[in-house]
Structure 1
């Protein structure tokens, strides 16, 4: 069960490899005794968010990211549905996250993914954990869409690369981490 007494939230955006810089932001916050209790993430931000919500320190996350290989992630999968099928990411999640459930995390996590059936983005916060995280990181063409409840999902950053919305209702303060050009910033 997540601790919801800490009303500080953090938004972790998408951004591919450059999104790994968000681990450094978490490390800097922790160095100053700041530990958000709520996380909203998309794409690489969702991947980092799930590890942080599960209790991994920024140093541990950095070590896990060093152990991984981009070549493994981009291995050819089923070509009709995308170049890669995200099996490696699923394997990494299973290895490092104790259970496949949002409710089993130590912090409240929201994951954003783009719904191909509705053309809108959906926020996941309950139930199965791994599939929404994989969907949020499924860059179209490179990765095959992920099926959740008979809906197809891809990278949440396609429709919302800064998912602050779920934090507006439950947090007193929100820290936003955005690793893109300032021209891409939206008003919240």
Structure 2
């Protein structure tokens, strides 16, 4: 129940009813009437705010009726005794209120639960191909028994038979074999 007003008001109303039942008089009677009027206003505002009437709402409604009856009995000038017709009205409203509140269904609203589902991470295949490096590896060649290495496009290489050509993948590899660079093609 979002609005807790009816429960609080029912307790306040019960205290007020006890004071009224003790047949207060004088200044306390005036204070009791003021408190009763405030209680009636609180009960009305609480009941207006309710969307659905559950146990507390019906209870507050019947407390409202009982307090109203006592209030009407005490506002009249003269004696403030509880008369026989007023007693019958109070007893009827108490019995009616009791049965309506006892047999009213209290709505229990469950909070929407969150369902937690553990999932395995999905593995997606890589669709992108790795980028080729922009720098091409430079192949170097030399002839068997030669002391120099060349580019494959060098004029000297075209004169050497293919069976006698040795291929190197870097200048470091060729220099490691004790070869030096050709002065024409590798300036």
TM-score tier after normalising by the smaller chain length: under 0.3
The structure having more radius of gyration, on CA atoms, is 2
What is the TM-score when the length of structure 1 is the normalising length? Answer: 0.26
What is the TM-score when the length of structure 2 is the normalising length? Answer: 0.26
Structure number with greater CO (CA < 8 Å, separation at least 6) is 1
* Greater fraction of residues in helix: 2
